[in-house]
Amino acid sequence: MNLTDTAGLEKELLERFLRYAKIFTTSDDHVDKVPSTPGQWDLLKLLERELTGLGVADINLTENGYLIGRIPAGGPPKKGVPVIGLMAHVDTSEEAPGENVNPQIHPNYGGGIIQLKEGYSLDPAKIPHLASYKGKTIITSDGTTLLGADDKAGLAIIMTAVHMLIKHPEYPHCPLEIIFNADEETARGTKYFPKDQVKASFVYTLDGDREGSLEAECFNAHKAVV
């Protein structure tokens, strides 16, 4: 893998995302345990195997579905460099069907309406920022399920970055902690969070807004039913 090989990185990123999106990881708000569904374990264990296959030696998967992997700093040695965490969650929302996800790839998007099944569509007149992706590849569900980009896109981005950094130990970066958790959608994702195992001074969650955005607030999904 070459750091300037953007086509290769994009190809790997797409393959990873499609692989993760097809795993049924819908969480269940009515189950009082973490992870709340067996499919989340399936994805966590797949990620554990992939991290091992990439050469990450320091990995721990806790009994409550927190997967932590550590990567030493790269490039010339430096003292006093903080550990940075990259985090994403494996579960998907139960607000829409999440089983048998059939991702649709729309290369070289022309800027028009993207028609899906069940009468659904993505219309740039209603979703203005779609226009900014003209000429790029867009991935959608087929309309019968959710896609699961929340947050399997984050998983795919982090795992692709891990691969790149391990292949290029000369590339300067601080020590990293890779943290994947279950049940973010049920608000139980931090219930058993192993704070004593986390060494990171700062953690960035790759789960959110439009491309290039950065939020400086913490979303915890707590709710109240009145």
Separation in Å, CA 166 to CA 57, 67, 73, 161, 173 = 11, 18, 10, 9, 11
Residue 186's nearest CA partner among 63, 113, 93 is 93
What CA–CA distance (Å, rounded) separates 84 from 100? 35
Contact at 8 Å (CB) between 112 and 85? Answer: no
Low-confidence ranges of the chain (pLDDT < 50): none
Contact at 8 Å (CB) between 68 and 177? Answer: yes
pLDDT score at 6: 83
Token pair, residue 158, equals: 């982090």
**Catalytic residue IDs:** 91, 184
What pLDDT digit, counting tens, does each position of 138-182 carry? Answer: 999 999 999 999 999 999 999 999 999 999 999 999 999 999 999
Q: Looking at the DSSP assignment, which residues form a beta bridge with residue 200? A: none
pLDDT score at 220: 66
Contact at 8 Å (CB) between 6 and 161? Answer: no
pLDDT score at 189: 87
Preceding omega of 38 cis (within 30 degrees of 0): no
Token pair, residue 46, equals: 């797949």
Residue 85's nearest CA partner among 212, 219, 199, 208 is 199
Tell me the residue ranges of DSSP E strands in the chain. Answer: 58-61, 67-71, 84-89, 104-106, 114-115, 121-122, 138-140, 176-181, 202-205
pLDDT score at 2: 63
